[in-house]
Chain A
Amino acid sequence: MKDRLYTWLSGMMLGLSLIMIASLLGFILYMGLGAFWPRPLWQVEDGTGKVYLGVVQGREYMRDVGRGTWDVGSGFTRTFYRIADREFYGTDFVWLNDHEVIRRTKPKDAVVVERLEWGPFFGFIRGIETPEAKISDENRLLPQLHEEMRAARARAKKIRHIERHVIGKLNDAMERERLALRRNELRYGLGAQGMERVRAAHEEAMRRLEERYGKIAEELTVLRSQDEAYRVTLATVEGFKKELPISSIVRVHAPNSLSWFGRLGVYASRLKEFIFDEPREANSEGGVAPAIFGTVLMTLMMAVAVVPFGVLTALYLNEYAHKGPLVSAVRIAVNNLAGVPSIVFGVFGLGFFCYLVGGTLDRLLFAERLPTPTFGGGGILWASFTLALLTVPVVIVATEEALVAVPRSYREASLACGATRFQTIWRVVLPSALPGILTGMILAMARGAGEVAPLMITGVVKLAPELPFDLNFPFFHLERRFMHLGFHIYDVGFQSPNVEASKPMVFMTALLLVGIVLMLNWAAIVIRARLRTRFQGAQI
């Protein structure tokens, strides 16, 4: 009887945990996946003659405190609308009391215009102007705008290519020239013989680069002014007009006349932007591609750093060290290390990796760049190392468990065949322990990918202009600061000037982070399963 009670109790606890995990994931899924679905635009008039055009964000019941009663039914409901058009209203959102609303309609031609700047625009298209034509026929406006946007995107792509790659390359070359000169100055002294010639050569090279830069800048100005000539005129529901270049529009749709498939198209397009594009508008819009890249790269680098470190430590503790109080003390210390607050690791990483190691590297190898730090500040390399330190206890503990589980008879058999201790470890013990070691790596990755606090002081920034990887030599720039999904959630959700508007981003980013951690783990589990069959074969 009592036994059954305990079975029930433990089963219920398991059930409770599962329910909590499932509801957390369900909530994030619901809030995140629903965020990009296009919802109808309501045109709302209240008694004072004011008109709003907005999307319903929520509704709540208010008790009418003014009349002094607390009876249910004495209150009223009010609705929370997102009205966008920040430049006209100063705010993105408005609460409207439902009983004051006198008319509520869904105008067919109301559009949602997502812009590069100023957030979305809710209103109507009034006209399109291109160098070739002026269009104001209401029925043709939206299709025409879509067409013009396609052309505008091609123009913007060209401009962005020049800005990003051509000018980027030039800047890189100039920086290299400057550093080369500085290096020579540092090595031979400012007044050294032949320095004149070096400086002259440098100036000549710089002049040529500047010349090329000038030409490109001119070309860019022409392209931009051409692009500016394609314009669209929008109007708010109250009739304020707004004219803007077509290339500054990201997406436009009329949600009230969209079919289900049309909505799906908008959804897919937003999702694609979210995953593959860069953030805009203080991270509250656009995508999170750099943060995804930063998170994945950092986690992988951490795994690469932590595994050899942890495995070697565990090997020494378990295979070489003689059992005694010292080893026990070390083991306890390692286990306690797992309980140190992560921010402490962050501080250590900043002091040790960034300032000490990085600062020394800078002085020895990158002296010409000082006082601008290269490795002497936060960066993805140091952040990965800091997280590797943070997660090394996990790997040590898991590896030790795996090593203990390798039967003694394997070791004895190997030694009896004349293998040395190292050969025994390398050929018999490690392969048998590999699945367990990989389990440790998976746990470390799961812990590391979700960690934010230590990263905030060792290299994460809210907006990194350049990825740690690009096409300029040496391609991987591990000293660069980077973006991270975990920090992104914090930044968008709590540091953004427009918290309410960026709510969907928070949920989507959280969903993505969970998804990425799951995917990394899943990949590691697949690899582990493969290795297990390879090294252990049929277990009997």
Chain B
Amino acid sequence: MEEAVRAQEAAMEIQDLNVWYGTAHAISNVTMPFREHQVTALIGPSGCGKSTLIRCLNRLNDLIDGARIEGRMCLYGQDLYDPNLDVSALRKRVGMVFQKPNPFPKSVYENVAYGLRVNGERSRRVIDEVVERSLKQAALWDEVRDRLHKNALGLSGGQQQRLCIARTLAVGPEVLLLDEPCSALDPIATGKIEELLYTLKARYTIVIVTHNMQQAARVSDVAGFLLMGELVEFDQTETMFTNPTDKRTEAYITGRFG
């Protein structure tokens, strides 16, 4: 099984990751790869460290006072915590979509163009092109093409979340981190996003945190089960859901706790 997981090159890798918030040990000794063009799902009960782990991958934990991170993490061999690393450049390569849709209080167009603008892109033509392409990739173009310059907060929740995906895609990332992207959405919107992930997989490496077992089973290629900051099991999704090796995994998947 381990060989099967290693079939493709790892886009990102973490080794012996430990995270403390003050004295609380949030992640302990996690080692796992994230394969190129695969969807890796992180599952586990609330507070098990899934979000903490995913936030280490684009260094968003830097913002939290008192967070301490140890271990080796890299993106195509480059150390993420190298002191000389340009963090904003890293975040351009590792995009992130959050639990709650969080479009800026700007127009739909400006939301998608944001990443380009902070990058210093001024050409109207380039921005127009990227906005259209990203919205199409996020399967939102047809719904918003007539209201590009209206406020994004007027969109529905599902549309807002796809807009956030488009905003992330516009920057041109290699890895896409999704932190429970569907938890605030209804089943139809969730279905649309899951479909989207399926198409996006061809171009991006995707890491998704989810509470929803079915969702993990539907969208992911490999899955990791986290419990109290430890990586209990890491395997092909199919294997994990049909034949888990660890008892705790089995208990969680079958719904006996969590």
Contacts and interface: CB of A to CB of B under 8 A. Distances in A.
Interface of A: 322-323, 407, 409-420, 423, 427-428, 431-432, 535-540
A540 B156 CA distance: 10
Nearest to A324: B65
A415 B59 CA distance: 10
B202 interface: no
Given A410-B104, A412-B102, A417 B151 contact: no
Given A409-B100, A412-B98, A427-B114, A419 B88 contact: yes
B122 to A, nearest CB: 15
Query: In this complex, which of A322, A409, A431, A536 has the most chain B Cβ atoms within 10 angstroms of its Cβ?
Result: A409
Contacts of A407: 102
Q: Looking at B60, B89, B106, B164, which has the most chain A CB atoms within 10 Å of its CB?
A: B106
A431 B105 CA distance: 9
Interface in B64-121: 65, 88-89, 91-92, 95-96, 98, 100, 102-107, 114-115, 117-119
A415 B171 CA distance: 12
Given A423-B118, A432-B105, A538-B151, A418 B98 contact: no
Contacts of B95: 416-417
Given A413-B102, A416-B168, A418-B92, A540 B153 contact: yes
Nearest to B95: A416
Interface string B127-164: 00000000000000000000000010110000000001
Contacts of B171: 417-418
A537 B167 CA distance: 19
A416 B58 contact: yes
Nearest to A431: B105
B229 to A, nearest CB: 22
Contact of B104 (A420, A423, A428): A428
Contact of B118 (A418, A432, A535, A539): A418
B89 A323 contact: no
Residue among A322, A411, A419, A420 facing the most chain B CB atoms (10 A cut-off):
A419
A236 to B, nearest CB: 73
26 contacts: A409-B102, A410-B104, A410-B105, A412-B60, A412-B96, A412-B98, A412-B102, A413-B164, A415-B63, A415-B88, A416-B60, A416-B96, A416-B98, A416-B168, A417-B92, A417-B171, A418-B92, A423-B118, A427-B117, A427-B118, A428-B104, A535-B105, A537-B106, A537-B107, A537-B153, A539-B153
A434 to B, nearest CB: 11
Contacts of A322: 65
A521 B87 CA distance: 43
A111 to B, nearest CB: 66
A535 B106 CA distance: 7
Interface residues of B, number: 30
B92 A414 contact: no
A346 B253 CA distance: 71
Contacts of B106: 537
B91 A538 contact: no
A418 B100 contact: no
Contacts of A536: 105
Contacts of B154: 537-538, 540
A409 B63 CA distance: 12
B94 to A, nearest CB: 8
Nearest to A413: B102
Contacts of A423: 118
Contacts of A411: 63
Contact of A415 (B91, B151, B167): B91
Interface of B: 58, 60, 63, 65, 88-89, 91-92, 95-96, 98, 100, 102-107, 114-115, 117-119, 151, 153-154, 164, 167-168, 171
Given A416-B60, A537-B151, A537-B153, 11 more contacts: A412-B60, A413-B98, A414-B114, A416-B96, A416-B168, A417-B115, A417-B168, A418-B115, A420-B118, A428-B104, A537-B106
B137 to A, nearest CB: 16
Contact of B153 (A412, A431, A538): A538
A105 B119 CA distance: 87
A413 B160 CA distance: 13
A410 B152 CA distance: 13
B111 to A, nearest CB: 9
A419 B171 CA distance: 10
B92 to A, nearest CB: 4
Interface hub of B105, B151, B167, B168 (most chain A Cβ within 10 A): B105
Contacts of B98: 409, 412-413, 416
A414 B153 contact: no
A415 B98 CA distance: 12
Contacts of A413: 98, 102-104, 164, 167
A407 B101 CA distance: 12
A52 B185 CA distance: 88
B65 A417 contact: no
A416 B59 CA distance: 9
A409 B153 CA distance: 14
A205 to B, nearest CB: 55
Contacts of B104: 410, 413-414, 428
B102 A415 contact: no
A409 B184 CA distance: 14
A407 B153 CA distance: 14
Contacts of A417: 91-92, 95, 114-115, 118, 167-168, 171
Contacts of A415: 60, 63, 88, 91
Nearest to B93: A418
B215 to A, nearest CB: 22
B118 to A, nearest CB: 4
B105 A418 contact: no
A414 to B, nearest CB: 7
Contact of A418 (B65, B91, B153): B91
List the 6 closest pairs (A to B, CB-CB), nearest first: A537-B151, A418-B92, A409-B102, A416-B96, A419-B118, A417-B115
B172 to A, nearest CB: 10
Nearest to A423: B118
B105 to A, nearest CB: 5
A160 B119 CA distance: 62
B231 to A, nearest CB: 24
With a 10 A CB-CB cut-off, give which of B58, B98, B104, B117 has the most chain A CB atoms. Answer: B104
Given A535-B105, A537-B105, A416 B153 contact: no
A418 B88 contact: yes
A214 B243 CA distance: 112
A306 B218 CA distance: 57
B63 A410 contact: no
Contacts of B114: 414, 417, 419, 427
A419 B92 CA distance: 8
Nearest to A406: B105
B3 to A, nearest CB: 34
A72 to B, nearest CB: 71
A419 to B, nearest CB: 4
Contacts of A427: 114, 117-118
A323 B65 contact: yes
A540 B104 CA distance: 13
A412 B55 CA distance: 10
